[in-house]
Structure 1
Amino acid sequence: MHHHKLSVIEKLGYGAGDMAVNVVISSMMLIITFFYTDVYGLRPQDVALLFILVRMVDAVADPMMGRFTDRHTTRWGRYRPYFLVMALPFGISVFLTFTTPDLGYNLKLVWAYATYLLVMLIFTAVTIPYISLIGVLTADPQERLSANGYRLFFAKVAAFLVTIVVPQLAVVWGGTRLADGYKWAMGLMGLMAALLFLFCFFSTTERIQHQVDRKPLREQLRLLLRNDQWMVLAIVCVVGTIGYVIRGSVAAYYAKYYLHGNAAMMSAFMATGVTAAILAMVASTWITKVYCKVKLFRYSQLVVGVLSVIMFVLVKPGDVTLAFVLYFLISFVVDLHAPVFWSAIAEAVDYGHMREGKRVSGLAFGGISFCQKAGMGVAGAIVGWLLAGFNYVPDRPQSHFTLTGIALMLTIIPGAFHVLMGGLMYLYRITDAYYNQFKGQIVEEVPEPSDAQRAHLLGPRTTECLP
């Protein structure tokens, strides 16, 4: 079977899509909690409830979106059209989420619920097609891994912009009205995301064609739950997301209160983590060329647990240099697994197809997004509840008890989730060698269209269901 090699331009376009997606993911993981409590003025316990309710409601939309993409296609493909149609709504929803109208507390809370739900629903409409896209770009596992390296590199660039550019622009553009600064800074990020989605649409090609089994939702769910390797990844996704989001959400509080930093130090501390993650994307791509990707996944997460304990024990309030060094190391090691995880999802879908003779693709990818959002919701709630439990009060000197709690939330607590994540990966067994044994039986390369076919494809722009 021919293994299509992706061009650099196509890999860049694919990466641009995740850069757009991560304008939202990064803001939700790194700054939204701090924004809601210290800028917008919501109580931590209210933020906790907001996160858990909105993300759980939105998470239900993920499998539904996966089912929809399974059932519909267009002349542009099954997944790419959503990047074209939803680009502008995506950017607008980001802008509205960080808009803070001058209202009473209860109405401010209503606005937060409404805009947060809106941005997450639109996020679903583009994310499910995006994470499914890698399965139809190429059937080569190394090319998928390489493309995911590009993708996750650009995702971290988005996180870098959100953590460095947004706080600094918020101060410059907001002046005494920091909330206005965040609105316009995130509006700029939303515009950038819209343009990146358009670039992803025009630079990628769907060339792998799968016959989707049109079984009822209950039957597809039954098939998916029988896929033991997908189930491992789903549980790993929930556990890992909880740890990742707890650490990312509390980084701003840690820099401001534990390290006694100003806005510049907050940006620098968060950017240190993002910079380490960017380097990890590059390192992971190279390491997996010569070392087992599954072992890298397992061991990296176990090492994160050890480093987290070391940071909690050694770093005292105000120990800026040591805190930056250890936070860099944790952030580097924790993200070595990321390209492996996202390429593994497509392989787990193929594994299920091989075992059952029936393919469940959209629901599988939608289910992983559901798990990620469920993890984000649980983690966001945990952060809010822990802040309240540790007696955190915004913009006030914090007690020793509160500072210890913030340190635990950056180190030991998320570290425990990553150790569990690494342990769970001992149940995952789809190595490259095993995958190569069965992949040729389940995919079919779509030939390059002839001139006549191209002319037909450029006909009336209609969308129709698959027969």
Structure 2
Amino acid sequence: MKKFKLSVLEKVGFGSGDMAVNVVISSMMLIITFFYTDIFGIRSQDLALLFIVVRLIDAVTDPLMGLLTDKFNTRWGRYRPYFLFLAVPFGISVFLTFSTPDVGYNLKLAYAYATYILVTLIFTAVTIPYISLIGVLTNDPQERLSANGYRLFFAKIAAFLVTIIVPQLSAYYGNGNMQVGYQFSMGLMGAMATLLFLFCFFSTKERVEHDIETRNIWVQVKALAKNDQWLVLCFACVTGTVGYVIRGSVAAYYAKYYLGGGPAMISNFLATGVVAAILAMVASTWITKRYCKVKLFRYSQILVAVLSVILFFLVGRNDIALAFTIYFLLSFVVDLHAPVFWSAIAEAVDYGAVKNGDRASGLSFGGISFCQKFGMGIAGAIVGWLLTYFNYVPNQTQTSFTLTGIALMLSIIPGFFHLLMGLAMFKYKITDTYYNKMLETYALSMDGERATASPEVNQNKNLNISTKNNSKQNHLFSSK
């Protein structure tokens, strides 16, 4: 079976799509909670319900979007057209989300609900096709891993811009009015995302074609439920995202209140984590060429839990240099798994197709996207509840009880979720060796079937999967 290689330009183009996506993801994970409480003016207890409501909507829209990408194909491909037609609406929705209307609290809260739901819906409409794209660009596991390395590198560049440029530019452009400043700076981020989606569309090509399931959604759900490796990734996605978002959401509070810094320190502290994550993308690609990627995934997340405990107990309010150092190490280690995770999804889909004779690609990727956003919703709610529990008051001197709570939310609490993530990956078995052997064994079994089949069957040159009752066949891979 021919394996497709990707050019550097196409890998960069693929990465540009995730850079666009991460304008929203980074803002949701790193600044949206701080923006809503300290800039927009929403009470922390109201944030918890907002995040939960939006995730309940995602429970419906993510699987539906996955089914939509399965249903329709175009002359541009199955996934790329969404980048072309939704690029501009995506940018506009980002601008509106970070705009603060001059109205009463209830109307302001309603506006927050409306714009946050809007940006989430459009985000879903481009993200599901995007995370599915890697499965049709190439069928080579190493090329997928390499492309995901590019992708996550550019994603962290977006996070770097959001954390460095947005706070600094907001303070400068707003000239004392941070609401205007955030509207302007995030508007620029939205415009950048629009251009990046267009570049992704024009620089990539869909090559690998899968026969897509057209069966009832509940039948596909049952098929996914049999894919034990996909279920492991779902659990890892939820727990890892909860930990990541809790830490990211409270980082600005930690820099401002626990370390006593202003906008510059907030920006620098957030940027420290992003720079570490960018370096982790490079390091992960290098390490996985020499070391088992699944073991890297497992042990890096367990190490995150250890570093989280060290951060809480060793760093005091005056230990600014130590806080930056340990936070850098923590952010570096936590993202070593990222390229592995996103390449593993496509491999888990192939595993399910081989093991059970069922491929539900769109629903598989849609389900992972939902898990990520479900984790974000849980984390957002936890942050809102914890800020309320620890008696947080925006833009005021915080009590020692509140400061201890903020320190816990940056360290031990998210570290616990990363520990769960690392332990769960001991149930994951699809290493590169396992994956290649699985395909080789499958190809040999298909060759054996063809050798004993009728001439009419032997005329079929595609690689097919026989279901248990042999009533129909699904293509595992075929190339355009």
TM-score range, shorter chain: over 0.9
Write the letter of the residue equivalent to 1:409.
M
| Cα pair 1:296 1:337 within 8 Å, conserved | yes
Distance 1:68 1:17 in 2: 20
Counterpart position of 2:337: 337
| Cα pair 2:210 2:478 within 8 Å, conserved | no
| Cα pair 1:93 1:119 within 8 Å, conserved | yes
Write the letter of the residue equivalent to 1:89.
P
Report the Cα offset of residue 52 of structure 1. Answer: 1.1
Counterpart position of 1:53: 53
Counterpart position of 1:208: 208
| Cα pair 2:15 2:152 within 8 Å, conserved | yes
- Mark the runs of 5 or more structure 1 residues left unpaired by the alignment: 448-467
Q: Highest relative contact order (Cα 8 Å, sep 6+), 1 or 2?
A: 1
Map of 1:226-241 to 2, 5 A cutoff? Answer: 226-241=226-241
Write the letter of the residue equivalent to 1:212.
I
1:32 aligns to 2:65 (yes or no): no
Write the letter of the residue equivalent to 2:131.
I
| Cα pair 2:298 2:423 within 8 Å, conserved | yes
Report the Cα offset of residue 434 of structure 1. Answer: 1.1
Distance 1:313 1:433 in 2: 41
Between Structure 1 and Structure 2, whose CA radius of gyration is higher? 2
Report the Cα offset of residue 445 of structure 1. Answer: 4.4
Could you report, residue by residue, the CA deviation over 1:169-190 in whole angstroms, capped at 9, with x for unpaired residues? 1011111211011001000000
Counterpart position of 1:456: none
Distance 1:309 1:242 in 2: 17
Write the letter of the residue equivalent to 2:297.
F
**Which has the larger displacement, 435-444 or 336-345?**
435-444
Could you report, residue by residue, the CA deviation over 1:395-438 in whole angstroms, capped at 9, with x for unpaired residues? 11111100000000000000000011000000000011111123
Report the Cα offset of residue 270 of structure 1. Answer: 0.3
Distance 1:237 1:311 in 2: 24
Could you report, residue by residue, the CA deviation over 1:216-236 in whole angstroms, capped at 9, with x for unpaired residues? 001000000110000000011
Two-structure CA RMSD over aligned residues (Å): 0.8
Distance 1:125 1:32 in 2: 20
Write the letter of the residue equivalent to 1:78.
R
Distance 1:433 1:214 in 2: 31
Distance 1:133 1:147 in 2: 11
Write the letter of the residue equivalent to 2:307.
L
Per the alignment, do residues 445 and 215 of structure 1 end up closer, same or farther by CA in structure 2, a change over 3 Å counting? closer
Distance 2:44 2:277 in 1: 28
Distance 2:343 2:376 in 1: 21
| Cα pair 1:34 1:252 within 8 Å, conserved | yes
Report the Cα offset of residue 47 of structure 1. Answer: 1.0
Counterpart position of 1:122: 122
Distance 1:86 1:219 in 2: 30
Q: Percent identity?
A: 71
Counterpart position of 1:434: 434
Counterpart position of 2:453: none
| Cα pair 1:242 1:417 within 8 Å, conserved | yes
| Cα pair 2:246 2:409 within 8 Å, conserved | yes
Report the Cα offset of residue 53 of structure 1. Answer: 1.0
Q: Secondary structure at the match of 1:386?
A: helix
Counterpart position of 1:195: 195
Could you report, residue by residue, the CA deviation over 1:237-283 in whole angstroms, capped at 9, with x for unpaired residues? 00000000000000000000000001000000000000000000000
1:444 aligns to 2:459 (yes or no): no
Q: Secondary structure at the match of 1:290?
A: coil
Report the Cα offset of residue 54 of structure 1. Answer: 1.2
Could you report, residue by residue, the CA deviation over 1:146-200 in whole angstroms, capped at 9, with x for unpaired residues? 0000000000000000000011110111112110110010000000000000000
Distance 2:432 2:54 in 1: 38
Q: Secondary structure at the match of 1:444?
A: strand
Write the letter of the residue equivalent to 2:477.
E
Distance 2:250 2:56 in 1: 21
Could you report, residue by residue, the CA deviation over 1:8-44 in whole angstroms, capped at 9, with x for unpaired residues? 0000000000000000000000000000000011100
Counterpart position of 2:459: none
Counterpart position of 2:89: 89
Report the Cα offset of residue 358 of structure 1. Answer: 2.0
| Cα pair 2:79 2:129 within 8 Å, conserved | yes
Per the alignment, do residues 161 and 59 of structure 1 end up closer, same or farther by CA in structure 2, a change over 3 Å counting? farther
Aligned residues: 447
Distance 1:176 1:425 in 2: 47
Write the letter of the residue equivalent to 1:113.
Y
Map of 1:40-79 to 2, 5 A cutoff? Answer: 40-79=40-79
Distance 1:375 1:42 in 2: 21
Write the letter of the residue equivalent to 2:120.
M
Counterpart position of 2:145: 145
Write the letter of the residue equivalent to 2:311.
M
Write the letter of the residue equivalent to 1:348.
A
Q: Secondary structure at the match of 2:336?
A: helix
Map of 1:344-359 to 2, 5 A cutoff? Answer: 344-359=344-359
Counterpart position of 1:464: none
| Cα pair 1:2 1:445 within 8 Å, conserved | no
Report the Cα offset of residue 439 of structure 1. Answer: 3.2
| Cα pair 1:298 1:425 within 8 Å, conserved | yes
Counterpart position of 1:315: 315
**Which has the larger displacement, 58-67 or 137-146?**
58-67
Distance 2:232 2:73 in 1: 30
Report the Cα offset of residue 127 of structure 1. Answer: 0.1
Distance 2:256 2:311 in 1: 17
1:16 aligns to 2:12 (yes or no): no
Distance 1:102 1:55 in 2: 27
Distance 2:52 2:239 in 1: 15
Write the letter of the residue equivalent to 1:402.
T
Map of 1:375-390 to 2, 5 A cutoff? Answer: 375-390=375-390
| Cα pair 2:52 2:381 within 8 Å, conserved | yes
Write the letter of the residue equivalent to 1:417.
F
Distance 1:140 1:319 in 2: 47
TM-score, with structure 1 as normaliser: 0.95
Q: Secondary structure at the match of 1:353?
A: helix
TM-score, with structure 2 as normaliser: 0.92
Map of 1:341-420 to 2, 5 A cutoff? Answer: 341-420=341-420
Distance 1:56 1:396 in 2: 33
Could you report, residue by residue, the CA deviation over 1:119-140 in whole angstroms, capped at 9, with x for unpaired residues? 0000000000000000000000
Distance 1:312 1:149 in 2: 31
Distance 1:358 1:272 in 2: 44
**Which has the larger displacement, 15-24 or 432-441?**
432-441
Write the letter of the residue equivalent to 1:151.
R
